[in-house]
Amino acid sequence: MSTVSEHGALKGANEQAPMLVDQHGRHIDYVRLSVTDRCDFRCVYCMSEEMTFLPRKQVLSLEEIYQVAKSFTELGVNKLRLTGGEPLVRKNVMSLIEKIGKLPGLKELLLTTNGSQLEKLAVPLKEAGVTRINISLDSLNAESFHRMTRTGKLEKVQRGIEAAVAAGFDAIRLNTVILRGRNEHEILDLLEYALGLGINIAYIEEMPLGEVSDHERGDTMVSNEEVMAVINERYPLTPIEMTTAGPSRYYRVESHGSKVGFISPVSHNFCDTCNRVRLTVEGRLLLCLGNEHSMDLRKVLRENPGNDEVLKEHIIKAMDLKPLRHYFYDKDEPQLVRFMNMTGG
């Protein structure tokens, strides 16, 4: 494989670690793959109640997703995250995860899940090579959990979380979206639940992705500053020097091992160190969560079946499209109509 574009550089095939570099000098070594847009939940901040999912033909096959994952790792990507929709509801997803887990060059295989299938899948996931898991949990009250997810059963998810803890992943993190008027009073309960299990927790600010039916985003968004102030009153937080090259800042609760993350994609500008791109389940390579810059890799895959070289050339070219920064809001108006389940959280 030779070099391709002016900026999106691929080093020669003989060099040990070819790297994807964008026009702004950022190395891309982390890819998030959405393996389905479908989900068994309908979280109020993520989906509308009546969702139309993509017709099967528009969705990448498991083989196509694997081909993309493999090509990225051959281009120096060493960290992959599987997400969705709910990745674990895709039929035969375990066969894909097992294959991806064996890719040479992969250092970390991560998964983001709502936890509904973890009771039965935690052990197989660990055996397939998944190193770390993020599990979404927004409430510890069965009724309010059901209201926020519209379909979810808290008990089942908690059993899934316990199964994941028992399976012994390198790390487990709860992902919590705090919404005003819904679960803002549970900030400390959720933290204490994580502390009790010896796992980490991250509070994510609501992002304006897609039109939701339940609420106006501006009315419900609770800033991480606010969440942090509530926690600090009871549990003083000590900042941890840890670079994720993403929109998260991490702290440790004094007297506990758990880390507490704050993910502020809207109010915190992390773009200058951004090292990641995303693949939607339709095969659109999104160069930025907060922009529409993308390349249609499904077209490339389907016009050149099984041709890894052509696929890699397009991936390299796509790096030139990565914008310098996100623009979630313009004059306070959300700019994106994409839903999070399409984008891959």
Tokens linked to 170: 């390198």
Cα–Cα distance, 199 to 173 (Å, whole number): 6
Given candidates 28, 43, 109, 122, which one binds ligand SF4 under the rule CB under 6 A? 43
Q: Is 39 in the site for ligand SF4 (CB under 6 A)?
A: yes
Q: Is 341 in the site for ligand SAM (CB under 6 A)?
A: yes
Nearest-approach distance from CB 82 to ligand SAM, in angstroms: 9
Q: Is the CB of 206 or the CB of 313 nearer to ligand SAM?
A: 206
Nearest-approach distance from CB 171 to ligand SF4, in angstroms: 19
Which of ligand SAM, ligand SF4, none does 321 bind, CB closer than 5 to 8 A by kind?
none
> What would you measure as the largest C-alpha separation in the chain, in angstroms?
58
- Is 200:261 a contact under the CB 8 Å cutoff? yes
Nearest-approach distance from CB 35 to ligand SF4, in angstroms: 11
* DSSP H or E segment with residue 237: strand 237-239
Name the segment binding ligand SAM (CB under 6 A); options: 93-101, 108-116, 297-305, 306-314.
108-116
Q: Is 86 in the site for ligand SF4 (CB under 6 A)?
A: yes
Tokens linked to 234: 């009871």
Given candidates 83, 139, 224, 280, which one binds ligand SAM under the rule CB under 6 A? 83
Q: Is 154 in the site for ligand SF4 (CB under 6 A)?
A: no
Write the CA distances from 61 to 64, 233, 268, 302, 318, integer angstroms: 5, 49, 35, 11, 21
Nearest-approach distance from CB 194 to ligand SF4, in angstroms: 18
Q: Is 209 in the site for ligand SF4 (CB under 6 A)?
A: no
Q: Is 172 in the site for ligand SF4 (CB under 6 A)?
A: no
Residue nearest to ligand SAM (CB): 345
Rounded CA Rg of the chain: 20
Sequence letter at residue 148: M
Q: Is the CB of 112 or the CB of 224 nearer to ligand SAM?
A: 112
SS3 (DSSP) at 138: coil
Which of ligand SF4, ligand SAM, none does 47 bind, CB closer than 5 to 8 A by kind?
ligand SF4
- Is 135:28 a contact under the CB 8 Å cutoff? no
Residues with Cβ < 8 Å from 115, sequence gap 6 or more?
A: 135, 136, 137, 156, 157, 160, 161, 164
Cα–Cα distance, 341 to 32 (Å, whole number): 12
Q: Is the CB of 179 or the CB of 300 nearer to ligand SAM?
A: 179
Which of ligand SF4, ligand SAM, none does 42 bind, CB closer than 5 to 8 A by kind?
ligand SF4
Q: Is 114 in the site for ligand SAM (CB under 6 A)?
A: yes
State residue 239 phi and psi, 5-degree precision: -65, 145
CB under 8 A, 24+ apart: contacts of 244-250: 245/30, 245/270, 245/273, 245/274, 245/275, 245/276, 246/270, 246/274, 246/275, 246/276, 248/202
For ligand SAM, the binding residues in 28-57 under the rule CB under 6 A are 39, 45-46
Which of ligand SF4, ligand SAM, none does 204 bind, CB closer than 5 to 8 A by kind?
ligand SAM
**Which of 291, 229, 286 lies closest to 260 in space, CA to CA?**
229
First to last CA, the chain: 32
The residues that touch ligand SF4, with contacts defined as CB under 6 A, are 39, 41-43, 46-47, 84-86, 114, 136, 340-341
The residues that touch ligand SAM, with contacts defined as CB under 6 A, are 39, 45-46, 83-84, 86, 112-114, 136, 175, 177, 204, 206-207, 209, 340-341, 345
